[in-house]
Amino acid sequence: MRKAIFITGGGSGIGRAVAQRFAREGWFVGLADISESGMAETAALLPQGASSTHKLDVRDRAAWGAALADFASAAGGRIDVVFNNAGVPLGGPVVDLAPEEIERTLDINLKGVIFGAQAAHPWLKASAPGSVLLNTASAAGLYGTPGASVYSATKFGVRGVTESLDGEWAADGIAVRDLMPGFIETPLLDHAPNRASNEDIRTRVQGAGLEITPVGAVADAAWAAVQGQKLHTLVGPTARRMAFFSRFLPGAVRKQVRNAGRALG
């Protein structure tokens, strides 16, 4: 039977690249997003008959259950991987962020992942062993940096959810993994970090001298994570550097972060 993966945020960026990667491997792909036009664009890039689309706001727990049931029906009755990928960026000094921005980021990036895990569990248990819950965390979940407090909080949370469920679901035969990318070439880079900013994220990243990793690297990492044994998969030079220095040179990282905070202020 053809394997099936359900991808949130499938209408663009990382979700679209992962959909293309798994479709090339012969998987049936479920695209979930709030953007119907984005899902249609992604579906047009996939082989005919290789996907289904499901409008989903990941903040809606009931909608999760309905979307997964619809996808399972389209996929032939089983779900092998659920990719909790939908997310939004948020940056800037915490005192400058609007409460609505904070709540939206927490709801989508963290609560959406938890709701997705709850809804996915019975489907993944039914297709175990070999089924996988894959979450998109971030290099921002390795060490908190100035101007990214709320976003980092959500990604530290996703990392914690991944580690907890890796143990919690082991007896069910479900593997739990996450991806920890740095800055990735997606449309999110062209958004402002918050509603008060007139400068996009890409400009800030380039101004800081940081590299932007091709989105295909994340798609390859997702494939490797589903096939392999790693709990956390680092993607891109920024993520690998942050992981190394935060583990082996934490004092140096703290000094650099504090200097960056002074510059931000």
Confidence band for 98, pLDDT divided at 50, 70 and 90:
very high
pLDDT tens column, 237-247: 888 888 887 78
Confidence band for 202, pLDDT divided at 50, 70 and 90:
low
pTM of the model: 0.89
Known catalytic membership, residue 143: no
The CATH number of residue 254's host domain is 3.40.50.720
Q: Reply yes or no on whether the pLDDT at 231 is more than 90.
A: yes
The three-point CA angle 205-210-212 to 5° equals: 80
- For the chain, what is the domain count? 1
Per-residue model confidence (pLDDT) at position 200: 57
Confidence band for 81, pLDDT divided at 50, 70 and 90:
very high
* Residue 118 CA: distances (Å) to CA of 122, 153, 165, 169: 8, 21, 11, 11
Catalytic residue among 22, 28, 115, 151: 151
Q: Which domain range does residue 80 map to?
A: 4-264
